[in-house]
A and B are shown apart, each in its own frame.
Chain A
């Protein structure tokens, strides 16, 4: 997964490293492009990733499986945010709130409209989050840097408060319980005949979440390599040049925001289902900061970085807390170490590797390739 995803990666740096010499006539070039059609290549990649995930889900302990389930709901939101911030240059501290929109929509629909297919519920949640994203994005398109951060921060702080205001409908402090979908009989019996074992609800949800997350990644990777991705990067890099090339800056910003919000909505919907609960406490400002931390650590604008960032976010929390408990701290002290370590990690990354993990590795790789060329 890693090598190919990084080739697909939208940040321009990859071009320096992966194509040392420009070769070939234009016709050979187009022919190669046709064979390596982005959609087909990414599709195969995702299939491969799915096989890898399936192997993990089948061999790991139930606890690890539940962690992978958590990672699956972070992933779409983080991937959407890295596209928005890394490729379009808009910062958002409000993606936790957009996840809340997706999560609450899912919870309300599953509770009030029994029998709705879950996939439809997911789509509706994504659309609702997209609509909220459209409104926020329209305002955000006029704001820059710290102002944009401030406006989206207000969203992150304010929106979960709605659940308290409309507590009859949205469950107030307690939140809404979500009865997660059960595997359809066909899939269940297929799984049983294949594995000779029952498909546990938790494992089914992890599969479910990962399939959705991979589909989101697939769609995003195609999008960022398309005309849209190119226009978004143009807007980020040089507003004047983009505008003079005929790009409507505002429209591109809103577009990117909506796409990103839809991804957050998908993440939120999965969150509600995987954790079986959506409450103000599950979509706090800390969640928004966590998402942002993940994209910075992974590498801004890189989808592979989003995967790494999500893994760091999910697994490090538990590792740190466990280490704390082993060292003799009580539970609440141990739980508070994680944010501290995130903060320190963030500072270290900014100082030592401001391009994030993916960007730094790629840069080192292309520097070495260049040195080898110069030596040869």
Chain B
């Protein structure tokens, strides 16, 4: 679904990504793990066009999207949930969700907002509230719900567990897993919380200083004692 090859991204003289390649297949969750500064967030930001790569290529369904403008990405089928829960604080929950489906002309978007409320009942109860009144977990649900309204083929999730209670993390991860199994969505998940991420992912990729140091089945990675100690910290 999503193919990344030899991606290099640099901020001035600092290389954040140093030749990263990976494939993110449909119907699977690919988890990218690594310590602070490994390049995880830079990877997602480069893929969605928020940061321009120096070289390398990103292909979505075989089509080169490396240079596509950011606002085009969502039309091409890629949704990016940025780190730190990018809710539009002053808009209501419902207005936030409507932004998610804004480029869709079909009437289904409205029905799907209702469906989002079924997925996340907490949002349904607060649909007319301004988003800044939501709790952290609710905000995460809102941004994931908003991203899904674009009916993406690929979903990029940046640290969805950040600052959330383990129970809420499990709930959101469970929901994503369920969605992937049902709809064949491709998910590229970036996480520091390696244990939780590997428990729902199909494939794990470990980044260190902008380079891929390991790619393997998630269960194998989780069982690899040395790797865990060296990079994943559990």
Contacts and interface: CB of A to CB of B under 8 A. Distances in A.
Contacts of A241: 82, 86-88, 143
Interface in A1-51: 11-13, 15-16, 19, 22, 26
Contact of A11 (B79, B90, B102): B90
B198 to A, nearest CB: 26
Interface residues of B, number: 41
A305 to B, nearest CB: 15
B128 A242 contact: no
A15 B91 CA distance: 9
B130 A246 contact: no
B24 interface: no
A244 B130 contact: no
B102 A244 contact: no
Which one of B90, B127, B146 has the highest number of Cβ atoms from chain A below 10 Å of its Cβ? B90
Interface string B128-152: 1111110000000001001100100
Contact of A246 (B74, B82, B90, B95): B74
A231 B99 CA distance: 8
A240 interface: yes
B86 A244 contact: yes
A98 to B, nearest CB: 26
A82 to B, nearest CB: 14
A269 to B, nearest CB: 32
Interface in A243-275: 243-249
A246 B150 CA distance: 9
Contact of B130 (A15, A230, A242): A15
B73 interface: yes
B98 interface: yes
A95 interface: no
Contacts of B210: none
A242 B88 contact: yes
B128 A22 contact: yes
B159 to A, nearest CB: 14
A285 interface: no
B178 interface: no
Nearest to B113: A26
A237 B146 contact: no
A234 interface: yes
Contacts of A249: 71
B102 A237 contact: no
A227 B109 CA distance: 14
Contacts of B92: 12, 15
Given A11-B90, A12-B89, A246 B129 contact: no
Interface string B46-85: 0010100000000000000000011111110001111000
Contacts of A244: 48, 50, 70, 73-74, 79-82, 86, 147
Given A245-B146, A246-B102, A12 B74 contact: no
Contacts of B124: 22
B177 interface: no
B125 A245 contact: no
B87 A243 contact: no
A238 interface: yes
B135 to A, nearest CB: 15
B25 interface: no
Contacts of B126: 22
A198 B72 CA distance: 61
Nearest to A245: B99
A11 B124 CA distance: 21
A345 to B, nearest CB: 26
B98 A238 contact: no
Contacts of A236: 90
B114 interface: yes
Contacts of A16: 129-130, 133
A233 B128 contact: no
Contact of A247 (B91, B102, B125, B127): B102
B71 A22 contact: no
B100 interface: yes
19 contacts: A16-B130, A19-B129, A227-B102, A230-B95, A234-B88, A237-B88, A238-B86, A238-B87, A238-B89, A240-B50, A241-B88, A242-B99, A243-B71, A244-B70, A245-B99, A245-B146, A246-B72, A246-B74, A248-B69
Interface of A: 11-13, 15-16, 19, 22, 26, 227, 230-231, 233-234, 236-238, 240-249
Given A231-B99, A233-B88, A244-B79, 8 more contacts: A13-B130, A22-B126, A234-B91, A236-B90, A241-B82, A243-B71, A245-B100, A246-B103
